[in-house]
A and B are shown apart, each in its own frame.
Chain A
């Protein structure tokens, strides 16, 4: 599960020979500075945002043109060398963790904005352009790119495509898939291919939903055309305190049931609120069991109408305190804590493991209570922040990695949260992806036939299976080893036993 055991001398010699073979094949295809293989040069690429999982690749290629990308892929395919694509390396599930005998293909140099079409409201950008950079470039036109993962200052659009990234605004504005028109890239064999187009549909099977969220397993993205939407004239955020988790959870469901689709609807529990208040001093209510941030955006008329309806619902659901941001500065201040949940947690604990799963909105209170039970069971604290509007939770389990037993209990705690999520009718990953981190949990969410069908989909794109192998879909052996109770679609064996 963690970094592999040090290979023995024979394996080391074989690896070194293979490395020289790969370097010899790729060196003629790239500028000198664009191919790395000495350890001190490749160590920065040994992991992505999931730092507990590290592996040195044989080499790292940093192509500067599509021609070089194609040539590298062709050469690797001819040698059956695994290829792992990498954007900014901010991923949280190990999707860009290198392969021990593979090439890491960094697309970081593909950072040009190719074209912004104001009338058509599209932006065509290279895959290495940062998510936020797209919105910054579109801002003078009164437009922006809506999906806003919290890492948007650093993450690339190519990475967003790989993960089908979400963010605070996806309840109203959709995921990456809903905001992408076209993905241009290369097959594992180095053949250029385009999925989608600037029209609203293409002939044949719609492959865009397969490619978006494919975690680098089906093709290597080099260029993306995204939709831009008008920047709302106004946004207002309501901060609502609740003295009871269930009331807060019910408020979330009631808002949606009232026909309101907020621009953002986020929740923080009491421990998380304490951690972020200490960090950003935004005036959060430290007495509240849960805080909801509920945002409305649109024209001033729309926002006035919607905020009124939101306040009615929130007070009707028992909010103990309600505050509406009076200006943009205060709105950003309300959000600052939520957006800084991770660094705030980093201050109060030597380490944390950030989980990501989704449950139906109505089960929000149930999963929080289940997590509270798990805190006792595993002897570790967990603070929670949620994209409550989507039922997408991010529990942060606090631990000290210097204590191997704590790390082990933390992993069990995390797996328990994921499997509980599936049992409640949800999924093991809402937006961070499966990568390597959740391979075992995929054994719980999918049957053997479903996993085999997904392997078959993979083989349709990559028959030799050398594009980011070993990620996302677990093998039969792995699932057999994992050997847990099979929790499928809320049906447990021995349903009469109390579990949650």
Chain B
């Protein structure tokens, strides 16, 4: 085993013996997210580098500590990208952290989730074992799909040492449109367009304005502009806009950050896309055709949780000074039991990132 990986495995074994809690950390860019960070740091940045990249195979394999920026630059050189548009809340984010947090950007609604692009993972579990699941090919149903389960697992199943990801060619044409719409109409129209063969890649709605990104073959994008109408946004401004949404530097999120400083919370509601406008006070920004709704509010957690649950979704306390209500919604008992047992099956001593995902 290579020295860097051996050191991490040794750290896990030592922690087992001493019952030390472990904080698996890449660049720490999502330390604000989920339950509080605690424990001795397992620094995955020691495991860095792109192990292999085959553009014609649509797969890239990178060590967990590889900077996300480095990976995306390598893909861009070949005209490829991660279709799910992972956010960069700060510099220094790693590929492993991206997979563990499982957060995706504006394109998620059309391109799929982080999970849908994971092909295989090498994992260091709580027994200090280095295990590989999945591989480098999409059509692979050998055994349980452990590799995709790691997306969004927040480190509780182990250290992501290496991951193989599906990559796709970046679309030849992109164009952004703006249209005025009130929220209910926006939700309806976005979903109607979703049912038509249009290259609708991403959308956002805030404060009476709907912004759409079309992405695909040149002819398809051109035809879609004719059909949808609205005002074309200049390419540079558009790129800045979508990056701002992805990385939470957009005006909405800047305002949210200020509100959070003053005691409000930024909530992320994940709901069925066609749910009507939510009767909640506070600024709301909608993405993913209505399936992801950001709300900046001082309303009590119970109200957010009940509102989301009533329409078949869930509410995440994304940023807030006071997270005593918990970041994530509680699970149904049967599911909670299975998840606890699953966590224990990977990490019998409960060392990894305790409390960051599950209560």
Contacts and interface: CB of A to CB of B under 8 A. Distances in A.
A430 B140 CA distance: 4
Contacts of A304: 219
Given A178-B116, A447-B131, A121 B272 contact: no
A213 B56 contact: no
Interface stretch (B39-47, B88-96, B308-316): B308-316
Interface in A407-463: 425-434, 438, 442, 445-447, 449-451, 453-454, 456-461, 463
A224 to B, nearest CB: 15
A204 interface: yes
B56 A257 contact: yes
A201 interface: yes
Contacts of A362: 54, 56-57
A170 B138 contact: yes
Contact of A361 (B56, B112, B272, B344): B56
A174 interface: yes
Contacts of B338: 187, 193, 207, 460-461
Interface string B101-128: 0100000110011011000000001000
A214 B195 CA distance: 31
Q: Bin chain A's interface residue count.
A: 35 or more
B339 A204 contact: yes
B148 interface: yes
Contact of A207 (B112, B194, B339): B339
A254 B149 CA distance: 32
**Residue from B113, B125, B195, B288 whose CB has the most chain A CB atoms within 10 Å:** B195
Contact of A200 (B58, B141, B270, B334): B270
A230 interface: yes
Q: Bin chain B's interface residue count.
A: 35 or more
B20 interface: no
B135 interface: yes
Contacts of A120: 191, 272-274
B137 interface: yes
A358 interface: yes
A255 to B, nearest CB: 9
Contacts of B55: 257
A306 to B, nearest CB: 7
Interface in B325-344: 328-332, 334-336, 338-339, 341-344
A23 interface: no
Contacts of B270: 199-202
A198 interface: yes
B307 to A, nearest CB: 13
Nearest to B191: A119
B139 A256 contact: no
B298 interface: no
Contacts of B57: 253, 256, 360-362
Interface in A218-251: 218, 230-233
Nearest to B190: A119
Interface in A176-226: 177-178, 187, 191-195, 197-207, 209-210, 212-214, 218
B161 interface: no
Interface string A109-143: 00000000111110000000000000000000111
Contacts of B188: 119
Given A142-B195, A197-B312, A259-B169, A205 B153 contact: yes
A35 interface: no
Given A199-B313, A230-B197, A358-B137, A214 B56 contact: no
A473 interface: yes
B136 interface: yes
B145 A191 contact: no
B217 interface: yes
Contacts of B342: 205, 207, 210, 457, 460-461
Contact of A456 (B56, B112, B288, B345): B345
Given A120-B273, A121-B194, A256-B56, A206 B149 contact: yes
B261 interface: no
Interface string A468-500: 000011000000000000000100000000000
Given A427-B140, A432-B141, 20 more contacts: A121-B195, A178-B116, A193-B335, A197-B272, A200-B292, A201-B152, A205-B357, A206-B153, A232-B197, A261-B169, A299-B219, A302-B217, A360-B136, A360-B137, A392-B139, A425-B137, A428-B142, A438-B142, A453-B129, A461-B341
16 contacts: A143-B195, A198-B312, A198-B313, A199-B313, A200-B291, A203-B328, A204-B331, A205-B343, A212-B145, A231-B197, A254-B56, A361-B56, A426-B135, A434-B142, A445-B142, A459-B341
3 nearest A-B residue pairs (beta carbon): A259-B169, A257-B56, A301-B219
